Structure 1
Amino acid sequence: MYIKSNREIEIMRTAGRIVAEVLEKLKEVIQPGITTKEINKLAEEYIRKNGAIPAFLGYQGYPASVCTSVNEEVVHGIPGPRVLKEGDIVGVDVGAYYGGYCGDAARTYEVGNCSEEAKRLIKVAEESFFAGLEKAYEGNRLYDISHAIQVHVESNGFSVVRALVGHGIGKNMHEEPQVPNYGLPHRGPRLTAGLTLAIEPMINAGKYHVKTLSDGWTVVTADGSLSAHYENTIVITANGPEILTKL
């Protein structure tokens, strides 16, 4: 686990703010008729305009600047000609390097008017992040976060994806430790001030099993149920957790 200095955290605040601004701008444009490729273009332009570099582009061969995951797609959906339609939901994952440090966050958006189940799934994904955040205090254990997320999701009748996890973040997009969204409390490494994490609940309306499509990237629910994703980059401080990917 790589503990960051105050100077490094300050740079990560800037990277995080750029990511947060992209996600806020996308909220205004995501509506029926937009393509996932257009979402990617808008995000990339904004990242570069602010002196940052898209973190995902070229990462292990990934072909785009953001991930756009529609309906039953959990994560890593590749932007393309797909037109979003009324009632869809789309998870958009954005990463940006600024000054050599990474910010990473995701939101799931409603496209037009969605079903009540879709709205509730999106809401519970967000709430579960904040349930985890309440455990992100110095002296607690990493899986205290994981357990709190799982309890909130499952108590609302949804399931937590187990094959994918959150992660440490900093100079690299993925650093130790891994941050599962499920697990037993009071386990895992102790949380220390200066630790930066990307906490990212991925939750399904049906069962938690997932599979990867033939493109090698897009992860979908095995049972075809809807999935929602909510992520922020945070830092543990002496005064509690701080979200870095916020305005």
Structure 2
Amino acid sequence: MSTFEKNFTTEEYRRRIAKTRHVMAARGLEAIVVCDPSNMSWLTGYDGWSFYVYQAVILTQEGDPVWWGRAMDARGAERTVFMQGADSIRGYDDTFVQNPDKHPMTDLALLLEELGLGKARIGVEMDNYYYSAAAHAALSAGLAAASLKDATGLVNWQRAVKSEREIEYMQRAARIVEEMHRRVIELAEPGMRKNDLIAEIYASGIRGIDGFWGDYPAIVPMAPSGMDATAPHLTWDDRPMQTGEATFFEIAGAHRRYQCPQSRTLFLGEVPQKYQDAEAAVLDAIEAGLEQARPGNQAQDIANAFNATLNKAGFEKDSRCGYAIGISYPPDWGERTISFRRGDATVLEPGMTFHFMPALWLDDGGLEITEPILITETGHECFCSTPRELVVKT
């Protein structure tokens, strides 16, 4: 038996599997092949940095799931998944790894045949980072009598409402990201190399706080300054921080793979009026959006309230302003389901968790002030207590 500390009880995993099977049955699927590592972990507990090679969880309508992956990673599966027994963990030979003459999906096809699924309707995550066109072609060729159906997002949507333990892990991640932001404010100053500051952010994030250790985030810190901050997804370099520049820090605390992202913006020196105006507009728009963050409302209600308030102040944000979060692996800490945008009619439920992501990218910098939130029985809670403001150091 594994001595690796399990993140959840077997009963919780079985509840998740039952939810997933209900949707599978509604779609007429006899099995699903799950390659997304977040979904693999949510269904079984598997946790390892092995997603650069092909791996999957096979879930049918009966019995335990089956983990399938590189043979050397089978020991990691034994130590992390809730299933026990050799039949639940299957490894393929290393000659399949990054070999142009052999694709691992041909081995998976043989396993599915062995499991009696050679002529089954099988769901696959076709629009997913970890399931390539070559993988689909190889699996299709190896399962010529089966019917492969697109099941992208099927498991992701079952993750939308979090359990009490999941929320507890996100609360711990929130304490960690609070400490990361505190460390930024403490250390950042003109002349400090950006990579040195990022090193401190990483140290705080991994060290954790209050006895809770930090896991690795699903996205690296994004911390551009000045003109670099006019773009949303640049990272860092070794340039010294400068007076008169804004730097936004889009970072996440992580605990047991549960992510709690939060952004704040730091301005070194005297703040120009347009940044003061942008801050005031964003803060008002955040309040308007949060007023709509309650069960029974739709995801778009938050976006519509946010954008209407922002537009009145003379600013526009043409991208979504939030998305679902929870358990995640690189390269994304979002769940790729619900978005705060016009047209998303998803009804909010207690236990849903989001990154409310208000951000403005101006002509000479950026402003990000964001909040991870939990939908409660009566409204919402913000996971973090980080002051909601443009941080100024003179």
Q: TM-score, normalized by length of structure 2?
A: 0.52
Letter in 2 for 1:21: E
Aligned to 2:174: 16
Residues 121 and 227 in structure 1, CA contact (< 8 A), matched pair in contact too: no
Q: Does 1:47 align with 2:205?
A: yes
SS in 1 for 2:262: strand
Residues 90 and 110 in structure 1, CA contact (< 8 A), matched pair in contact too: yes
- Once the two structures are superposed, residues 73-96 of structure 1 have per-residue CA deviations (whole angstroms, 9 ceiling, x without a partner) of 232221111222111111101113
Partners of 2:240 and 2:289 in 1: CA distance? 34
Aligned to 1:116: 273
Q: Does 1:177 align with 2:334?
A: no
CA-CA distance at 1:146 after TM superposition: 0.4
Higher helix proportion, which one? 2
Partners of 1:196 and 1:103 in 2: CA distance? 9
Residue in structure 2 matching 1:31, options 183, 189, 195? 189
- Once the two structures are superposed, residues 46-68 of structure 1 have per-residue CA deviations (whole angstroms, 9 ceiling, x without a partner) of 01111112314xx5xxxxx4110
Aligned to 1:83: 240
Residues 108 and 228 in structure 1, CA contact (< 8 A), matched pair in contact too: yes
Higher strand proportion, which one? 1
Q: TM-score, normalized by length of structure 1?
A: 0.80
SS in 2 for 1:53: coil
Aligned to 2:260: 103
Partners of 1:90 and 1:246 in 2: CA distance? 20
Aligned to 1:71: 226
Aligned to 2:382: 243
Residues 261 and 355 in structure 2, CA contact (< 8 A), matched pair in contact too: yes
Partners of 1:143 and 1:244 in 2: CA distance? 21
SS in 2 for 1:54: coil
Counterparts of 1:195-210 in structure 2, within 5 Å, are 195-205=352-362
SS in 1 for 2:222: strand
Residues 75 and 229 in structure 1, CA contact (< 8 A), matched pair in contact too: no
Structure 1 stretches of 4+ with a deviation exceeding 4 A read none
- Once the two structures are superposed, residues 136-194 of structure 1 have per-residue CA deviations (whole angstroms, 9 ceiling, x without a partner) of 000111011001111122111112142x65221111221143424x536xx51010000
Aligned to 1:232: 371
SS in 1 for 2:177: helix
Q: Which moved more, 1:116-125 or 1:193-202?
A: 116-125
Aligned to 1:168: 324
Structure 2 gaps of 5+ residues are: 1-156, 387-394
Partners of 2:346 and 2:381 in 1: CA distance? 19
CA-CA distance at 1:14 after TM superposition: 0.6
Partners of 1:90 and 1:68 in 2: CA distance? 6
CA-CA distance at 1:33 after TM superposition: 1.8
Instruction: Tell me the percent identity.
Output: 22
Letter in 2 for 1:171: I
Q: CA RMSD in A?
A: 2.0
Aligned to 2:297: 140
Provide the aligned length of Structure 1 versus Structure 2. 218
Residues 89 and 118 in structure 1, CA contact (< 8 A), matched pair in contact too: no
Letter in 2 for 1:70: S
Partners of 1:129 and 1:243 in 2: CA distance? 12
Residues 110 and 119 in structure 1, CA contact (< 8 A), matched pair in contact too: no
Q: CA 1:28/1:152 → structure 2, altered by over 3 Å: closer, same or farther?
A: farther
Q: Does 1:93 align with 2:250?
A: yes
Partners of 2:255 and 2:165 in 1: CA distance? 13
Structure 1 gaps of 5+ residues are: 60-64, 206-223
SS in 2 for 1:150: helix
Letter in 2 for 1:168: A
SS in 1 for 2:270: coil
CA-CA distance at 1:225 after TM superposition: 4.3
Residues 52 and 97 in structure 1, CA contact (< 8 A), matched pair in contact too: yes
Letter in 2 for 1:175: E
